[in-house]
Amino acid sequence: MTKTVLNGRLAFAAVMLVGLILPAVFERHMVDLLVYAGLYTIAGLGVGLLLGQCGIVNLAQALFYGIGAYASAYSTVTLGWSPWSGILLGIAISVAVALVIGFPLLRLHGFFLALATLAAGTIGTIFFFEWDWLTGGTLGIGGLPPLSVLGFEFNSPARFYYLVWAVVIILLVLSSNLVSGRPGLAMRALRDSAPAAEVMAVNIHAIRTKIFALSAGLGALAGSLFAHYSTYVSVESFTVQRSIVFLLIPVIAGARSIWGTVAGALFVTFVPELLSGFGDAHQMLFGIMLVLVVTLMPDGLAGIPARVARRFAR
Amino acid sequence: MNSTLIIQSLMAGLTNSFVYALIGIGIAVIYRGTRIINAMQGDFAVIGGMLTVFGLVSAGLPYVWACALGIAAGAASGLLIDVVCVRPMIRRQADDEAFLLLTIGLAFTISAAVLYIGGREAHLLPGIGGNGTVEIAGAFMSVHAIFLIAISLLVVCGLWLFYRKTIAGLSMIAASVDPDGATSIGINVARMRGYTFVLGGAIGALAGILVTPLISVSYQMGLGLTLKGFAAAILGGLTNPLGAVLGGLVIGLSESLAVVGLSSGYKDVVALTIMLLMMVLMPNGLLGKAGRRGG
């Protein structure tokens, strides 16, 4: 057992090392994609906590991603605040919105909850579009300042790469702790048997609402970082399609695996890119791959090692 | 505000109501027969509408045959989805979330496939009964809209009879309510589920054909239709075709009043808010428990 732990740590260290030198070897476009994979990991992590730990399908993540992005854009460009306070504002608004809509909606379950979040996300997109005094509508808001720490500006893909992946690793570690601790135990108990969990004095509704708020906060953080990275935000980035992509990240990765979120995020950023060689067919091929994953691989990519092991054990 | 404007808007709302109702009926049929919420019902409509346009314009078929082609395409896609995707998932006892993800994935794929094959353009069909209009209380309604409402009502009556009076309809319900019991009296549960998807696909395609002359059909309209249809079905208690009509009317008419009272941009907000409120406050639909059994 200690040997597997050691092997795990070595593998982890090797991945980290490779991660550190990637921006130096890859061309700019690839680094750019890796930055997006990092942003999507953060947003997808929230959706994954809901799906994997609570069994909740959240189709509203683009709403919170949008709130974060617009909070950053409006507070820095129009109000002239510092970027960091814009990020905090976005997270605060997102968490507040999540509590307000989550409190009534999280009484629903399964299909109904999923479609309720889809409806909430769609309403959000309409408001982003209609409130053009705030969001700039289809024209969007441009000219966001880059993030900076002590005068060091994260103004190139390579620099932003280190920032976003540092954030990703911190969040993944925190989430792993959350999931392996008491809150995680309570969440899994309610996912697997809600009545039994309730008997054990787990307050189902409170936990679900808290995780929903946490997920929304992660969505807003990703949105704010996205806004400062691309320096331009518009309605197209926050549609229901984006929510579906965020949902796919944990689905493809295997929803119960926290670190697997990275694989899911890499999948949704790089596979469409690889398929773009097929021209207009690439979206369709991506859709087919997705349907195949859902149909044939219930545990997502994270389930592949176990499957291979089972096959060889026979 | 003048009353003709309100009547005109309500008339448009009435027509939309029946479109939402037809999508909602399809969702209700599939939910009733399989306990799956089909998040790609609107894409059946896209398939139906697109194939009818193809039959009429590209293949030069007569109108009726083009419509038949569209409906057959919807039914065939329903069957294909059941055989290729749903059946293996039922075999491994996948959970509810997996089925929802499947239908969302299929919606994404179909929309992308239509974009790839049919292109970005929206396509129109000529209306049933020509492109004429009739005047009702100073407002105008297209002849096609009247046909749309009549056909929708026929579908509702037909389904009512089908689920009560025919062996096939009763078997389909039995297969979903109690699969083991149904199997023990000789009902082929898997085949009944196939029939349910065929029926759901055909109704979805019909909705698409009927809506195309009004708002045209394009690759990205599926999800919007699904949401409105789901709203209508939820208001109706989800299993009841007649309830879906009632739900469609509530959604369609409140939308049209929102257009007059607020602005057209907010009509979806009104429709979806009504749906969310209904889900939380009246989870059994407008007709209550009775509505769940009936229809």
Q: Which residues of B touch A (CB under 8 A)?
A: 37, 39, 84-85, 88-89, 92, 94-98, 100-102, 104-106, 108-113, 115-116, 223, 227, 230-231, 234, 263, 265-266, 268-269, 272-273, 275-276, 279-280, 283
Say how many C-beta atoms besides its own lie within 10 A of residue B143's C-beta: 15
| pTM (2 d.p.) | 0.88
- Does the structure show a pLDDT above 80 at A8? no
Percent over 70 (pLDDT), chain A = 98
- Does the structure show a pLDDT above 70 at A104? yes
Residue B295 is predicted with a pLDDT of: 38
Compute the mean pLDDT over every residue in chain B, rounded to the nearest whole number.
88
Give domain limits for chain B: 3-13+29-222
Whether A21 is in a domain gets the answer no
pLDDT digits (tens, 9 = 90+) for A144-164: 888 888 878 888 888 899 999
Q: Do A123 and B273 touch (CB under 8 A)?
A: yes
Sign of CA dihedral A226, A227, A230, A235: positive
Number of domains chain A is built from: 1
- Does the structure show a pLDDT above 80 at A301? no
Is residue B153 within 8 A of residue B215, CB to CB? The reply is no
Whether A102 is in a domain gets the answer yes
Whether A244 is in a domain gets the answer no
- Does the structure show a pLDDT above 90 at B17? yes
Is residue B276 within 8 A of residue B235, CB to CB? The reply is no
SS3 of A224-249 = HHHHHHHCEECHHHHCHHHHHHHHHH
- Does the structure show a pLDDT above 60 at A314? no
- B207 versus B259: the higher-pLDDT residue is B207
Residue B126's pLDDT band, with cuts at 50, 70 and 90, is: confident
- Does the structure show a pLDDT above 50 at A190? yes
Whether A297 is in a domain gets the answer no
Residue A253 is predicted with a pLDDT of: 83
Of A110, A241, A291, the CB nearest to B96: A110
Q: Do B108 and A287 touch (CB under 8 A)?
A: yes
Considering only A179-188, B46-55, B73-82, which range has the smallest mean pLDDT? A179-188
Q: Count of CB contacts below 8 A, A vs B? A: 111
Residue A87's pLDDT band, with cuts at 50, 70 and 90, is: very high
Residue with tokens 């997920």: A215
Q: What is the largest CA-CA distance in chain B?
A: 63
Residue B289 is predicted with a pLDDT of: 59
Is residue B48 within 8 A of residue B159, CB to CB? The reply is no
- Does the structure show a pLDDT above 50 at B292? no
Whether A121 is in a domain gets the answer yes
Whether A141 is in a domain gets the answer yes
Q: Do B280 and A107 touch (CB under 8 A)?
A: yes
Whether A250 is in a domain gets the answer no
For an interface test with A, which of B46, B93, B97 has the most A Cβ atoms less than 10 Å from its Cβ?
A: B97
Phi and psi based region of residue A114 (left: phi greater than 0; alpha: psi -120 to 50; beta: remaining)? alpha
For an interface test with A, which of B114, B251, B280 has the most A Cβ atoms less than 10 Å from its Cβ?
A: B280
Least Cα distance to A119 among B252, B228, B24, B272 occurs for B272
Q: What is the ipTM of this complex?
A: 0.85
Q: Does A240 reach chain B within 8 Å, measured CB to CB? A: yes
Q: Do B39 and A115 touch (CB under 8 A)?
A: yes
- Does the structure show a pLDDT above 90 at A185? no
- A38 versus A199: the higher-pLDDT residue is A38
- pLDDT, average across residues A46-56: 89
Q: What is the largest CA-CA distance in chain A?
A: 65
Number of H helices, E strands in chain A: 15, 4
Residue B291's pLDDT band, with cuts at 50, 70 and 90, is: very low
- Does the structure show a pLDDT above 80 at B290? no
Whether A181 is in a domain gets the answer yes
Residue with tokens 């992946």: A165
Secondary structure of residue B237 in the 3-state scheme = coil
Considering only A299-303, B133-137, B225-229, B242-246, which range has the smallest mean pLDDT? A299-303
Burial of A124 (0-12, 13-18, 19+ CB in 10 A): buried
Q: Directed axis angle between helix A240-253 and helix A61-73, to 10°? A: 120
Which residues, at least 6 apart from A145, have a Cβ–Cβ distance to it below 8 Å?
A76, A83, A228, A231
Full domain range(s) for residue A234 = 29-239
Give the residue from chain A lying closest to B39, CA to CA.
Answer: A115
pLDDT digits (tens, 9 = 90+) for B149-186: 999 999 999 999 999 999 999 998 888 888 889 999 98
For an interface test with B, which of A131, A192, A249, A284 has the most B Cβ atoms less than 10 Å from its Cβ?
A: A284
Type of residue found at A50: L
